[in-house]
Amino acid sequence: MLRDPHLMALVDLSLAEDLGPGDLTCESIFPDRREVAARFVAREPLVVCGLDMAAAVFGRLDPACRFSRKRREGDRVRAGSVLAAVRGPVQAVLGGERTALNFVRHLSGIATLTRRYAEALKGSACVLLDTRKTLPGYRRIEKAAVRAGGGHNHRMGLFDGVMIKDNHILAAGSISRAVRMARARIPPTVKIEVECSQIRQVRAALSAGADIIMLDNMPPARMRKAVEIVSGRALVEASGRLDLDTVRAAADCGVDFVSVGAITHGARAVDVAMDLVRS
Amino acid sequence: MLRDPHLMALVDLSLAEDLGPGDLTCESIFPDRREVAARFVAREPLVVCGLDMAAAVFGRLDPACRFSRKRREGDRVRAGSVLAAVRGPVQAVLGGERTALNFVRHLSGIATLTRRYAEALKGSACVLLDTRKTLPGYRRIEKAAVRAGGGHNHRMGLFDGVMIKDNHILAAGSISRAVRMARARIPPTVKIEVECSQIRQVRAALSAGADIIMLDNMPPARMRKAVEIVSGRALVEASGRLDLDTVRAAADCGVDFVSVGAITHGARAVDVAMDLVRS
Amino acid sequence: MLRDPHLMALVDLSLAEDLGPGDLTCESIFPDRREVAARFVAREPLVVCGLDMAAAVFGRLDPACRFSRKRREGDRVRAGSVLAAVRGPVQAVLGGERTALNFVRHLSGIATLTRRYAEALKGSACVLLDTRKTLPGYRRIEKAAVRAGGGHNHRMGLFDGVMIKDNHILAAGSISRAVRMARARIPPTVKIEVECSQIRQVRAALSAGADIIMLDNMPPARMRKAVEIVSGRALVEASGRLDLDTVRAAADCGVDFVSVGAITHGARAVDVAMDLVRS
Amino acid sequence: MLRDPHLMALVDLSLAEDLGPGDLTCESIFPDRREVAARFVAREPLVVCGLDMAAAVFGRLDPACRFSRKRREGDRVRAGSVLAAVRGPVQAVLGGERTALNFVRHLSGIATLTRRYAEALKGSACVLLDTRKTLPGYRRIEKAAVRAGGGHNHRMGLFDGVMIKDNHILAAGSISRAVRMARARIPPTVKIEVECSQIRQVRAALSAGADIIMLDNMPPARMRKAVEIVSGRALVEASGRLDLDTVRAAADCGVDFVSVGAITHGARAVDVAMDLVRS
Amino acid sequence: MLRDPHLMALVDLSLAEDLGPGDLTCESIFPDRREVAARFVAREPLVVCGLDMAAAVFGRLDPACRFSRKRREGDRVRAGSVLAAVRGPVQAVLGGERTALNFVRHLSGIATLTRRYAEALKGSACVLLDTRKTLPGYRRIEKAAVRAGGGHNHRMGLFDGVMIKDNHILAAGSISRAVRMARARIPPTVKIEVECSQIRQVRAALSAGADIIMLDNMPPARMRKAVEIVSGRALVEASGRLDLDTVRAAADCGVDFVSVGAITHGARAVDVAMDLVRS
Amino acid sequence: MLRDPHLMALVDLSLAEDLGPGDLTCESIFPDRREVAARFVAREPLVVCGLDMAAAVFGRLDPACRFSRKRREGDRVRAGSVLAAVRGPVQAVLGGERTALNFVRHLSGIATLTRRYAEALKGSACVLLDTRKTLPGYRRIEKAAVRAGGGHNHRMGLFDGVMIKDNHILAAGSISRAVRMARARIPPTVKIEVECSQIRQVRAALSAGADIIMLDNMPPARMRKAVEIVSGRALVEASGRLDLDTVRAAADCGVDFVSVGAITHGARAVDVAMDLVRS
């Protein structure tokens, strides 16, 4: 069950916007609370994600709903596969249908796309990471969808990692000054990453004591040189508009991580439907 | 300014997930609240949307931020165009950057795609509508993005229109019974729409007094026949997995509306960046 | 059970204002959580309403409370009738008594008055509607009380119907312009109503394509003329300070609806008490 | 300005229920934010109350609204008097009209009725008190309306006074035991009141050390006897379905207070309208 | 179970600040939801308090947790005593450990210190009271800890008692004027206390009709004289930086109450730990 | 100005608990909103902290209040020093006094104690850290008080650092397994710390790749040996009931950090008062 108050708030917002003061259709057509059953069915091949959100939607609408998962997060399924079943009062089952589907379709879309990137990296030691290019309010569940698809998570937000970008360097004066100031004030449990687009920045970050060097939009040759320079003294991440055609080449430059914004912001919803079960 | 409490709640959730207890990078690197300026720049051609959300992000982070729009919602712009500018304390400008961009990129993506559909219908009297296939919590802003792109909105949720679908008909017994029950209980200001996939359902809905007939996934010939049968006694809407290749043909069957889920759930984020202005 | 978050918020506000940091009397006098039972009893003839709110009050105070309805919403009962029973820890039963009673007395008062209006219309095809003259925060439950008393609901709020009043017409320039602008922007599921006090306005609204014509404060003769002019091309509603003496005459003018603000804002609380059951 | 978070929550609930996702009429008819002005006008003689709530409604809808009071809470005015003026964007002024009016009409109704009771007691030393028979969620503003009408407030809720009623006595065993237990546990700043319907209860409460004796539904002769017995050793309050015909007689029995539930739960809304000012 | 919404809000704030988007350690190390058991153990002699808050912490994290009290609030225990046990999913038990302990350690610290003061007053008729010098947000639970330690509560806040201090007197003009104004406007259930540091103020408060006289920072001789002057016509409270060395002497001056801020703001956390039970 | 929603929620809880439905004393004694001025004055030597919270208290009560800081967070001041001034309506200044003082006294107490520990470490390269032994809900402001006193912050909560303790090791099977599992799943920006009480655990943690080794309750000789073994391959932290007598010796063992729970949970409130300025 979903217990994260942030996610419950998102579910509540979602139900409020769709139901408002009530579902006119169900409330007028069904005078009693008859029980119905329905199934969530994949209409195309996909990687499953978002069933927790669907369960929360129905649980929040009516605690009398029973939602049962038929597949686990991260399962790869064929078209026609049943992902989950729900049984409950007709008002809740039909009233929650669209909101639940919208979550499952969106999150399974991210998991499905992530899986394709993960496969492109198969056999490589390089780890696939996501970014902060997620839909506002959806950070936690989109990052869970990345994990379901076989990716790993970069920092969750601005609070659990230091990432010094060109804007920060510009405003702070230099890489070494920025790293030194950060190190003196952040908790000892947090690492410092520096974004570099030039080799001289890589050297500066390294000597300032950065824990992670991020190579931003570098051509492969420059990336390989950067990896050589770092030579294990820091972790190295490749980033910058990587897609399915380019991600493997970046990984093969010897970096520890590739981070790909498109696995979240470039995914499309996959097709999942809810079918009422005739009893 | 954004005053809708639903949207402020979404902005607050979004900032909470990204900032948590604070932006480690900015807080450690910038000991003072120096003021900086930045610009939101399109990196590809797009239809502008979401600037209100961006303004709310910065305003919520720090009332000292001044956000100024350079373009209006719905404007078509070229790559390189400046959409907006923001000026304020460095912590707020850099701390809100990603959240603001994520909103603008997503919503402009919907507006941009909607515009392509709207153009496909140019010269037709048929009206382009959206659906309820929107991201949970984003209904209002995605529907605003549809308007920005030249589309029109279908009902906002379950509360401001009656849509009787196959599940409802199945559970209610018949179309005529479902329409009669709804009519007796809903406010007089709300219309009743019935989803039909067969011609005999169109006839049943019409004689039950439906205000709108929705033709679901019908082939063009059947749609034309349905329009002929209805013959102005109700409004007619075509729906069902329409895309840029098929939407015009559906419109040309004589329906009043085409509704297209893909303009919201099939849009990808467009590329917008925030550039710090060197002072 | 009550699951509408809007109503739960109203219940929470209500308990917070009465209990604050605690019920000094019960907490000091009853050191243990002994269980007691009590009954809600009508002290005068009335139409029952508000038991859901009473149940929510006790459920929110202590999930150990069991509230059982003895009558259904809309039942007409005599003085002395038992409406419901509650059993639970003495702190919750006595602590929730006044809040629960205040809801039941107010809402049953509205249902009881509405019933009198509904009876005045007996035999007429004209439908009795409420208005938006409800207590702020109480819209949904007062409208439910109207239904319990045999009335029907007009639009729920500003979001599910268009009502063009004199102020709107004044500001928009003309009825035809206002109707045209509204039609172009509202969802196709929503109807447009125009408030008219003169016959020429009725004609203008009709030719502008209004779905509902509201006759505001018209004398009966004028109303009859308006109905004749409309002649079935739109629905017609009579409104304007109607009371038990005048409502039937208005209905008999041939309008489809009469709307009466007094059924909500003019109702007085009926007398209901909670009696502890000696065990 | 209204700063009580409880009342802001009530205002927010009220706007949410009326506006939901938006005011279809104003949003579709008025494409720009033109400024309009309007006046709140009494349509019958009344005692003014609720202008703070009206101001909060407009302020919450749009900070650009300027609300100016023309009368003070508690002022007695004639039909036609202007109570307040508001100026702001047409969407906010027309969107907040009904909610603001509903507050002012209800609260002025209570103040107006209270004033009649206060006048019935003119010349008496007896103080007019309200009860906890207020609308759930409205306690603070209805008690403010009582003060505006010239009445005084009894305890605000269960937390700032001890009132031992028959149910408490029954469950505690005896008046003396209940008073003793309460005294040992409540803050020294709070008084203990005991509800008595019989003379022997008055004696028991007095010897137990009650601070206030409440005479519940006693006939005048018994009340006078009770006052004589108490003889200044405690305060005395008369209560129990008092109305405008009986309240003075009760006061004249020599009690310190009369408490009248009807001044809140028996008041009807008074007629106040909002007129747009033609500019 | 804890049902006070104020306290649930404090628990929610507490979990949000510690867990944020998740417990990285438990979530990464424990892939399943294995059940574990743990015990809360006193590491030094103490008076037990705060178990309700601990129970709420675990219940809020995961309803599958079962928390069982082994001791009651107010029990005096030796080092090594088991106060409570908790059993549940490892993520919840370890995730809630620190927050639960922090509550129990702080509140038991207050109960333990209060007990020492209560013992210093043993045999005296004088009652030990707390003050409003509590941690913001913790008022209710710190006052409960005072009761657990054998003390009594002064007023809960500014709303359930009138305390006229030097600032109020200064601003109001005189004691008699301040008391008169308060008496005319406060509910009859609430008493008036006046803070006095001089004998002439005691006389003024007494003749103005104060219910309670507070002797602020008076030397013992002056206190005794004040008690003599009051002579039972009001309650008398001694206050002002009393500590374990001075509190008894103050009580022995014949006052009804001594109030001691240090029992809340001067308490230190006692040592309690949570030990996992090896299964 | 305070903009963190977590802290605003704490301020709101705090005002709600003290003011409830209103400040009886001020509201009854002061019929108008006369302006007064007051000063916050140290009554003993202390290190200043908490003025932001005090400012938020008054700002939340009434935006008309003007709060001006006379000292900065972290300033060391003598008894008698003025820390801040506030000017505003008498109701807000006196109504917020106690809540504002309670924050300032508590937080300055932590800053003052931390300063003593920081001085004990003067001249050492070892960094003073806090712990998660903070009052629930107060984490962020107590950690800010530590910084004001010259200490540094350890991780903010469970989300921004991995700390593997004995319970985790027990449940996971071994240190190496726990570290491996954590490394595979946490963001690359977060470090892993392992708590060790034995030398063999230090070796295990080191070879498992821990970033930080925490020496828990080790005697100095063992600590020195541990530091020698680690020899710069990880950071080293000493912890475990350190006090002012023992903290320097621990630091001198060569560890990078000492963490001291007592700087937060062992601090007592310092004496600060608010004096009204006679105008």
- Within this chain, do residues D158 and D230 fall inside the same structural domain, yes or no? yes
Q: Do B159 and D61 touch (CB under 8 A)?
A: no
- Within this chain, do residues C58 and C181 fall inside the same structural domain, yes or no? no
Identify all chain D residues contacting A17, using CB atoms and an 8 Å cutoff. 21
User: pLDDT tens digit string along D148-191?
Assistant: 999 999 999 999 999 999 889 988 889 999 999 999 999 999 99
pLDDT in tens, chain B (279 residues): 567 889 999 999 999 999 999 999 999 999 888 899 999 999 999 999 999 999 999 999 999 999 999 999 999 999 999 999 999 999 999 999 999 999 999 999 999 999 999 999 999 999 999 999 999 999 999 999 999 999 999 999 999 999 999 889 988 889 999 999 999 999 999 999 999 999 999 999 999 999 999 999 999 999 999 999 999 999 999 999 899 999 999 999 999 999 999 999 999 999 999 999 976
Considering the candidates F70, F132, F139, F165, report the single residue annotated as catalytic.
F165
Q: Over pLDDT 90: what percentage of chain A?
A: 92
What chain F residue is nearest to A194 in terms of C-alpha separation?
A: F189
Q: Is the pLDDT of residue A241 over 70?
A: yes
The answer to whether residues A132 and A142 touch, using CB atoms and an 8 Å cutoff, is no
Q: Residue F153 and residue F142: Cα distance in Å, rounded?
A: 10
Measured in whole angstroms, how far is the alpha carbon of residue D157 from the centre of its chain? 12
DSSP string, F141-209: HHHHHHHHTT-B---SSTTS-EEE-HHHHHHHSSHHHHHHHHHHHS-TTB-EEEEESSHHHHHHHHHHT
Q: Do D167 and C276 touch (CB under 8 A)?
A: yes
Residue F278 CB-density burial (10 A; 0-12 exposed, 13-18 middle, 19+ buried): exposed
CATH number at residue F132: 3.20.20.70
Cα maximum dimension of chain D: 73
- Within this chain, do residues B148 and B216 fall inside the same structural domain, yes or no? yes
Indicate the length of chain A as a whole number: 279
Q: Do C156 and A21 touch (CB under 8 A)?
A: yes
Mutation pick from F4, F132, F155, F160 vs chain A, by most beta carbons of A within 10 Å, is F160
Q: For chain A, which residues lie within 8 Å of any Cβ of chain E, measuring from their own Cβ? A: 1, 3-6, 139-140, 156-157, 159
User: pLDDT tens digit string along C176-197?
Assistant: 999 999 999 999 999 999 999 9
pLDDT of residue F278: 76
- The owner of tokens 């400046």 is B82
Provide CB contacts within 8 A for A85, sequence distance 6+. A37, A38, A39, A40, A67, A68, A70, A277
Q: Residue C104 and residue C108: Cα distance in Å, rounded?
A: 6
Interface size between C and D, measured as CB pairs under 8 A: 205
Residues F52-58: what's their mean pLDDT? 97
Identify all chain E residues contacting F265, using CB atoms and an 8 Å cutoff. 102, 105-106, 268-269
- Within this chain, do residues B175 and B219 fall inside the same structural domain, yes or no? yes
Q: Do E20 and A140 touch (CB under 8 A)?
A: no
What chain F residue is nearest to E176 in terms of C-alpha separation?
A: F29
Identify all chain E residues contacting B21, using CB atoms and an 8 Å cutoff. 17, 20
The residues pairing with D127 across neighbouring beta strands, listed in sequence order, are: D257
Identify all chain B residues contacting D17, using CB atoms and an 8 Å cutoff. none
Identify all chain D residues contacting B159, using CB atoms and an 8 Å cutoff. 20
Confidence of residue D278 (pLDDT cuts 50, 70, 90): confident
Q: Residue F246 and residue F238: Cα distance in Å, rounded?
A: 11
The answer to whether residues E134 and E142 touch, using CB atoms and an 8 Å cutoff, is yes
Q: Do E62 and A3 touch (CB under 8 A)?
A: yes
Residues A40-55: what's their mean pLDDT? 98
CATH number at residue F73: 3.90.1170.20
Distance from CA of E264 to the nearest CA of B (A): 28
- Within this chain, do residues F107 and F135 fall inside the same structural domain, yes or no? no
Identify all chain C residues contacting E154, using CB atoms and an 8 Å cutoff. none
> Which chains does chain A touch, 3 or more C-beta pairs < 8 A?
B, C, D, E, F
Return the structure tokens found at D46: 């009344």
The answer to whether residues D146 and D264 touch, using CB atoms and an 8 Å cutoff, is yes
pLDDT of residue A2: 59
pLDDT of residue A4: 87
Q: Do E187 and D154 touch (CB under 8 A)?
A: yes
Return the structure tokens found at D28: 């579709």
User: pLDDT tens digit string along A110-158?
Assistant: 999 999 999 999 999 999 999 999 999 999 999 999 999 999 999 999 9
What chain E residue is nearest to B18 in terms of C-alpha separation?
A: E21
Provide CB contacts within 8 A for B269, sequence distance 6+. A133, A265, A266, B102, B105, B106, B109
User: pLDDT tens digit string along E205-227?
Assistant: 999 999 999 999 999 999 999 99
Residues A49-68: what's their mean pLDDT? 96
Q: Do B21 and E21 touch (CB under 8 A)?
A: no
Q: Residue D263 and residue F114: Cα distance in Å, rounded?
A: 59
Helix (H, G, I), strand (E, B) or coil at B67: strand
What chain D residue is nearest to F64 in terms of C-alpha separation?
A: D1
F195 catalytically annotated: yes
Return the structure tokens found at C165: 């009043």
Identify all chain F residues contacting A187, using CB atoms and an 8 Å cutoff. 152-156, 160-161
Distance from CA of A250 to the nearest CA of B (A): 22
- What type of residue sits at position F167? N
Confidence of residue F2 (pLDDT cuts 50, 70, 90): low
Domain extent, residue B135, equals 123-265
Q: Do D155 and E189 touch (CB under 8 A)?
A: yes
User: pLDDT tens digit string along F208-224?
Assistant: 999 999 999 999 999 99
Number of domains in chain B: 2
pLDDT of residue D279: 65
Pairing of strands D162-164, D192-196: parallel
Q: Indicate the helix (H) or strand (E) that contains B223.
A: helix B220-230
Cα–Cα nearest to C114, from C262, C224, C3: C262
Q: What angle do CA F179, E94, E108 make, to 5 degrees?
A: 140
- Within this chain, do residues E31 and E46 fall inside the same structural domain, yes or no? yes
- Within this chain, do residues D185 and D70 fall inside the same structural domain, yes or no? no
Pairing of strands D257-259, D127-129: parallel
User: pLDDT tens digit string along C260-273?
Assistant: 999 999 999 999 99
The answer to whether residues E160 and E192 touch, using CB atoms and an 8 Å cutoff, is no
How many other CB atoms sit within 10 Å of the CB of residue D221? 9
User: pLDDT tens digit string along D244-256?
Assistant: 999 999 999 999 9
Return the structure tokens found at F78: 């003598």
Return the structure tokens found at C131: 């208005």
- Within this chain, do residues A149 and A205 fall inside the same structural domain, yes or no? yes
Provide CB contacts within 8 A for D275, sequence distance 6+. D38, D39, D41
Q: Do B13 and A137 touch (CB under 8 A)?
A: yes
Q: Do D21 and A21 touch (CB under 8 A)?
A: no
Rounded to two decimals, what is the model's pTM? 0.94
- Within this chain, do residues C173 and C255 fall inside the same structural domain, yes or no? yes
Return the structure tokens found at F141: 């402001």
Compute, in degrees rounded to 10, the torsion defined by CA atoms C131, C132, C135, C140: 90
Provide CB contacts within 8 A for F96, sequence distance 6+. F15, F57, F58, F61, F65, F86
Considering the candidates A35, A119, A216, A252, report the single residue annotated as catalytic.
A216
What chain C residue is nearest to E2 in terms of C-alpha separation?
A: C62
D216 catalytically annotated: yes
Q: Residue F94 and residue F101: Cα distance in Å, rounded?
A: 11
Q: Which residue has the higher pLDDT, C167 or F228?
A: F228
User: pLDDT tens digit string along E262-275?
Assistant: 999 999 999 999 99
The answer to whether residues D262 and D242 touch, using CB atoms and an 8 Å cutoff, is yes
Return the structure tokens found at C267: 């109702």
Q: Is the pLDDT of residue D83 over 70?
A: yes
Q: How far apart are the first and last CA of chain C?
A: 27
Residues F115-139: what's their mean pLDDT? 97
Q: Residue E121 and residue E72: Cα distance in Å, rounded?
A: 23
pLDDT of residue A249: 95
- The owner of tokens 């807080």 is B27
Distance from CA of C156 to the nearest CA of A (A): 8
Distance from CA of F251 to the nearest CA of E (A): 24
What chain A residue is nearest to C141 in terms of C-alpha separation?
A: A21
Q: Is the pLDDT of residue C279 over 90?
A: no
Q: Residue B209 and residue B183: Cα distance in Å, rounded?
A: 9
- Within this chain, do residues D229 and D155 fall inside the same structural domain, yes or no? yes
The answer to whether residues B43 and B14 touch, using CB atoms and an 8 Å cutoff, is no
Q: Residue F91 and residue D11: Cα distance in Å, rounded?
A: 23
> Which chains does chain F touch, 3 or more C-beta pairs < 8 A?
A, B, C, D, E
Identify all chain D residues contacting C14, using CB atoms and an 8 Å cutoff. 136-137
Q: Residue C53 and residue C7: Cα distance in Å, rounded?
A: 8
Question: Mean pLDDT lowest for which of A163-167, B134-138, E191-195?
Answer: A163-167
Helix (H, G, I), strand (E, B) or coil at C48: coil
What chain D residue is nearest to B143 in terms of C-alpha separation?
A: D21
Return the structure tokens found at E23: 């417990």
Mutation pick from C3, C134, C152 vs chain A, by most beta carbons of A within 10 Å, is C3
Q: Do B21 and E20 touch (CB under 8 A)?
A: yes
The residues pairing with B237 across neighbouring beta strands, listed in sequence order, are: B214, B257
Q: Residue F250 and residue F256: Cα distance in Å, rounded?
A: 10
Cα–Cα nearest to C28, from D204, F17, D162: D162
Q: Indicate the helix (H) or strand (E) that contains F135.
A: none
- Within this chain, do residues D106 and D142 fall inside the same structural domain, yes or no? no
Q: Do C18 and D178 touch (CB under 8 A)?
A: no
Identify all chain E residues contacting C63, using CB atoms and an 8 Å cutoff. 1
Provide CB contacts within 8 A for C231, sequence distance 6+. none
Cα–Cα nearest to A85, from A99, A95, A64, A71: A71
DSSP string, chain A: ----HHHHHHHHHHHHHHHTT--HHHHHH--S--EEEEEEEESS-EE---HHHHHHHHHHH-TT-EEEESS-TT-EE-TT-EEEEEEEEHHHHHHHHHHHHHHHHHHHHHHHHHHHHHHHTTT-SPEEE--S-S-TT-HHHHHHHHHHTT-B---SSTTS-EEE-HHHHHHHSSHHHHHHHHHHHS-TTB-EEEEESSHHHHHHHHHHT-SEEEEES--HHHHHHHHHHHTTSSEEEEESS--TTTHHHHHTTT-SEEE-THHHHT-----EEEEEEP-
- Within this chain, do residues E44 and E12 fall inside the same structural domain, yes or no? yes
Identify all chain B residues contacting E17, using CB atoms and an 8 Å cutoff. 21
ipTM of the prediction: 0.95
What chain C residue is nearest to F16 in terms of C-alpha separation?
A: C20
pLDDT of residue E278: 76
